[in-house]
Chains A and B, each alone.
Chain A
Amino acid sequence: MRAWLRRVWETDPRKDPNAMLYIALGLFAVLFPVFANVTTGGNPNFLMSVAGDAGVYVLLALGLNVVVGFAGLLDLGYAAFFAIGAYTYAFIASEHLVVTPLHSAIHMPFWIVLIIALFVAASFGVVLGAPTLRLRGDYLAIVTLGFGEIVPRVFKNAATWTSGVNGISALDAPTLPVWLTGPWANTPVGLVTNVKIFDPSAYYVIMVVLLVICVVLIRNLQNSRMGRAWAAIREDEVAAAAMGVNTVQAKLLAFAIGAAFSGFAGTYYGAKLSLVSPENFGFSVSITVLVMVVLGGMGNIPGVMAGALLVYYVIFMLLPTLPDTVTSLVNSIGLSSLTQQSGDWPGIGEFVNRLKFLIFGLILIVVMLVRPQGLIPSRERQQELTKGTHDDTTIEDVNAEAGA
């Protein structure tokens, strides 16, 4: 521990910002409940719940980062595995199976389903990947896109098993066999058994623990033999194969591991929301997660996490509240006539509401144009871009430099 702290302290943050970023993210995770408590005057449940949902996306982004960032495989249907994870939990941790042809419910504990969903999602990753990972480049992206479109539709149409568009509701809450209770819950100190977890803060804690475990796992993976194989494949598949990397196996593993993390995310999501519905796993989820990964800085774990938090904040917090913010701003500077609807003018609030797509699109374009490598890229990638160690120098560049 001391050695690690020393190493972190002695790293130059200008060269490798990661150590500092991990500390910053950790501090953020610890301080966020305090912040939520203070800003809302002791009623942090809403903010904590939102933070838990944001954590789901961070988890998804971390998983997709293994596929896209490490192994360089473009996955456009990542939400499918997320859906599979969530439905796994819905099937084996609720009363739902009673109304299916099976006629008897299964109630597995949340903690065990986490592991089961991990394997279920990973197996689907293998099933999809095994025949298709031999494909080159973007063909894989298209296969995953197709898979991502198929899975939610199957859940939607196979109504005898999944209740169709209504989704499956009343999923079991996670329980702890034993838990300590005390004055903070207005009871005397003692042990309680079979505690159901409903409190958003508890979900927040579960998410933070999940994230810490996943970050440690993914970091170790990245530095393992397999991680180096992924990097080699990402940079040049032919060369990697020539060096003896079993490219199909390595790609399959990246695919399965990426899927496994979204199995995690799906289980947590199902348990927290207590509802799964096919509408929540569409193409837009896959795209959002991909945007988080690329915008944050592909292949760089803290970058991806920061990107996920930022994009989540913009999509789910900033943009939905923007119309109200602008309306009150306009009112406060004395232009309240703008808030009224008249003729074609829908009123400033509604106008800004309609601008949401446009603003989000602009943010994506501008950020990528300004920082094509992502907000917090990995060191390797940054150097590749600035120094051009790749075959990126083309005749066009040469012409441009020669002033031709």
Chain B
Amino acid sequence: MGAAGDTIKAGRRSLRTGITGRILDIGLYIVIAAFLLLLGWHVVQAENAGSYFAQITYFALANGAIYALIAIGYTMVYGIIELINFAHGDVFTFGCFLSASLLPVFQLKEGQVWGPGTILQLLAVMIITMLACAVLNVAIERIAYRPLRHAPRLAPLITAIGVSFFLEGALFLWKGPSQIHYPAVLPATSWSIFGANVTLTEVTVWVTTIVLVVALALFTDRSRLGKAMRATAQDRDAAALMGIDINRTIAATFFIGALLAGAGGVMYGLSYNTTVFDLGFSQGLAAFTAAVFGGIGNIYGAAVGGLLLGLIRTYWDGYFDSAWSDVMIFAILILVLVFRPTGIFGMRVPEK
């Protein structure tokens, strides 16, 4: 729970000391610089360079925001119980599916005329989806992870995989195996900025993400429960001795993580207008990668990592062969871990 500034500073100190750390950092900078140079070359070469670049950037930022919303759930859960919550991506898909079904219920359809009332309706859909995802995630924690808290470390990992299969199976039962249309309820308004179109959908995604991440940051930094979460992440036993209810705190972590995943599900649906039952697998893997980029366990790291991942992937797809974009991303992931084992934000590695 990297919100604690002092922890982050301590992590940075321990990494930056020693000549090896220095050399590794320089290596990472060289790799990043090489990538940027290559990208820059292609950017300038393209036709209509400026507007094409701007167009891709807007899309990349929206993409990255969705990754960030999912990645935060991974990073929070990992930070507090050191579990790679494989089911998290499927909770995100559940949010996408549920909101797709809720939109018609709230009288929102394609080509809608928009007014204050419809905005409230969309907000209601989003809040219900977020709460449903949160309740689902807390139930998963209660049933599949909590009983195994003192079991061998891999046991909860296997139940997480089991829950992931279970959820995918349930979503498959719900809406079948094919791609599902997600109603494009937002109007196709767009504004021209730097010669490229910014759509209302993209703005919605950015605003939602920024609001949620800032709210989460304030919550973990300022509230009592947020403090309890940070304490539990640092040392569970000590936190328990200080009178923190561990079970409640962990449940709260799952709850909040899934709130963001649910919002991410709605945002994904609104952006892409399509979804599929095993979407959570690929999105989850990407979001998890983003969490690692930022230094797993660190909320700000996950947000920045998600954004970075969105940028890297979309730029790569835009300027290079998209068949290699996954290879590229995972290669960068490995390089980042080799050069900066704790991610770009340099959170302390839990040593237990």
Interface of A with B (CB < 8 Å)?
Answer: 68, 74, 131-132, 134-139, 141-143, 145-147, 149-150, 153-154, 156-157, 283, 287, 290-291, 294-295, 298, 354-365, 368-369, 372-373, 381, 385, 392, 394-397, 399
**Would you call the interface of chain B mostly helix, strand, loop, or mixed?**
helix
B350 CB, min distance to chain A CBs, angstroms: 7
Annotate B40-79 by CB proximity to A: 1 below 8 A, 0 otherwise: 0000000000000000000000000000000000000010
Which A residues lie within 8 Å of B292 (CB)? Answer: 139, 142
Which of B78, B158, B167, B241 lies at the interface centre, i.e. has the most chain A CB atoms within 10 A of its CB? B158
CB-based closest 4 A-B pairs:
A358-B169, A364-B162, A361-B166, A357-B169
Which B residues lie within 8 Å of A154 (CB)? Answer: 327
- The chain A residue sitting closest to B321, CB to CB, is A157
Interface residues of B in 300-329 (CB under 8 A from A): 321, 323-324, 326-327
Which B residues lie within 8 Å of A143 (CB)? Answer: 333-334, 337-338
The yes or no answer to B148 lying at the interface (CB within 8 A) is: yes
- Residues A394 and B150 in contact in the complex (CB < 8 Å), given A150-B331, A295-B158, A365-B144: yes
B84 touches A141 (CB 8 A): yes
Give the docked Cα–Cα distance between A359 and B168 (Å). Answer: 11
- Residues A364 and B159 in contact in the complex (CB < 8 Å), given A136-B351, A138-B82, A298-B154: yes
- Give 15 A-B contacts (CB < 8 Å), ordered by A residue: A134-B341, A142-B337, A149-B285, A154-B327, A157-B324, A290-B154, A291-B158, A354-B177, A355-B169, A358-B170, A358-B172, A360-B162, A360-B169, A363-B162, A364-B162
B327 touches A139 (CB 8 A): no
A146 touches B148 (CB 8 A): no
Give the docked Cα–Cα distance between A293 and B340 (Å). Answer: 31
Interface residues of B in 120-179 (CB under 8 A from A): 143-144, 147-152, 154-159, 161-170, 172-173, 176-177
A369 touches B330 (CB 8 A): no
Give the docked Cα–Cα distance between A381 and B143 (Å). Answer: 24
Which A residues lie within 8 Å of B289 (CB)? Answer: 142, 146
Give the docked Cα–Cα distance between A135 and B349 (Å). Answer: 9
- The chain B residue sitting closest to A390, CB to CB, is B150
Give the docked Cα–Cα distance between A396 and B81 (Å). Answer: 14
Annotate B236-269 by CB proximity to A: 1 below 8 A, 0 otherwise: 1100110000110000000000000000000000
A291 touches B161 (CB 8 A): yes
B161 touches A287 (CB 8 A): yes
Which A residues lie within 8 Å of B155 (CB)? Answer: 294, 368, 372-373
Which of A354, A373, A392 lies at the interface centre, i.e. has the most chain B CB atoms within 10 A of its CB? A354
Contacts between the two chains (Cβ within 8 Å), count: 159
B326 touches A369 (CB 8 A): no
Which A residues lie within 8 Å of B281 (CB)? Answer: 283
Which A residues lie within 8 Å of B150 (CB)? Answer: 392, 394, 397
Interface residues of B in 167-196 (CB under 8 A from A): 167-170, 172-173, 176-177
Interface of B with A (CB < 8 Å)?
Answer: 78, 82, 84, 143-144, 147-152, 154-159, 161-170, 172-173, 176-177, 236-237, 240-241, 246-247, 281, 285, 288-289, 292, 296, 321, 323-324, 326-327, 330-331, 333-334, 337-338, 341, 349-351
Among candidates A294, A362, A394, residue contacting B166 with C-beta atoms closer than 8 Å:
A362
B165 touches A357 (CB 8 A): yes
- Residues A132 and B84 in contact in the complex (CB < 8 Å), given A149-B285, A363-B162: no
Which B residues lie within 8 Å of A361 (CB)? Answer: 162-169
**Apart from A358-B173, A361-B163, A365-B144: 17 A-B pairs, beta carbons within 8 A:** A132-B334, A138-B296, A146-B331, A146-B334, A150-B326, A287-B161, A294-B155, A298-B154, A355-B173, A356-B169, A358-B165, A361-B162, A361-B164, A362-B166, A364-B158, A368-B156, A395-B241
- Residues A365 and B162 in contact in the complex (CB < 8 Å), given A143-B334, A372-B148: yes
Which A residues lie within 8 Å of B331 (CB)? Answer: 146, 150
A42 CB, min distance to chain B CBs, angstroms: 38
- Residues A135 and B337 in contact in the complex (CB < 8 Å), given A357-B169, A394-B237: yes
Give the docked Cα–Cα distance between A364 and B291 (Å). Answer: 26
A399 CB, min distance to chain B CBs, angstroms: 7
Give the docked Cα–Cα distance between A363 and B151 (Å). Answer: 18
Which B residues lie within 8 Å of A364 (CB)? Answer: 158-159, 161-162, 165
A365 touches B159 (CB 8 A): yes
A131 touches B338 (CB 8 A): yes
B296 CB, min distance to chain A CBs, angstroms: 8
A357 CB, min distance to chain B CBs, angstroms: 3
B325 CB, min distance to chain A CBs, angstroms: 9
Which B residues lie within 8 Å of A294 (CB)? Answer: 154-155, 157-158
Which A residues lie within 8 Å of B166 (CB)? Answer: 357-358, 361-362, 365
- Residues A368 and B165 in contact in the complex (CB < 8 Å), given A143-B337, A294-B158: no
Which A residues lie within 8 Å of B164 (CB)? Answer: 361
B151 touches A153 (CB 8 A): no
A365 touches B163 (CB 8 A): yes
Among candidates B159, B246, B321, residue contacting A396 with C-beta atoms closer than 8 Å:
B246
Give the docked Cα–Cα distance between A363 and B161 (Å). Answer: 11
- The chain B residue sitting closest to A371, CB to CB, is B155
- The chain A residue sitting closest to B147, CB to CB, is A369
Which A residues lie within 8 Å of B84 (CB)? Answer: 138, 141
B237 touches A150 (CB 8 A): no
Which B residues lie within 8 Å of A283 (CB)? Answer: 281, 285
- The chain B residue sitting closest to A365, CB to CB, is B162
B104 CB, min distance to chain A CBs, angstroms: 17
Which B residues lie within 8 Å of A363 (CB)? Answer: 162
B172 touches A354 (CB 8 A): yes
Give the docked Cα–Cα distance between A134 and B342 (Å). Answer: 12
- The chain A residue sitting closest to B148, CB to CB, is A372
A372 touches B169 (CB 8 A): no
Give the docked Cα–Cα distance between A198 and B334 (Å). Answer: 41
- The chain B residue sitting closest to A136, CB to CB, is B349
Which A residues lie within 8 Å of B143 (CB)? Answer: 365
A139 touches B341 (CB 8 A): yes
Which A residues lie within 8 Å of B149 (CB)? Answer: 396
B152 touches A298 (CB 8 A): yes
B281 CB, min distance to chain A CBs, angstroms: 8
- The chain A residue sitting closest to B241, CB to CB, is A395
Give the docked Cα–Cα distance between A273 and B148 (Å). Answer: 40
Give the docked Cα–Cα distance between A162 and B167 (Å). Answer: 35
Give the docked Cα–Cα distance between A399 and B239 (Å). Answer: 13
Give the docked Cα–Cα distance between A385 and B148 (Å). Answer: 11
B101 CB, min distance to chain A CBs, angstroms: 14
Which B residues lie within 8 Å of A298 (CB)? Answer: 152, 154
A395 CB, min distance to chain B CBs, angstroms: 4
Give the docked Cα–Cα distance between A362 and B166 (Å). Answer: 6
Which A residues lie within 8 Å of B169 (CB)? Answer: 354-361
A368 touches B158 (CB 8 A): yes
A150 touches B158 (CB 8 A): no
Which A residues lie within 8 Å of B165 (CB)? Answer: 357-358, 360-361, 364
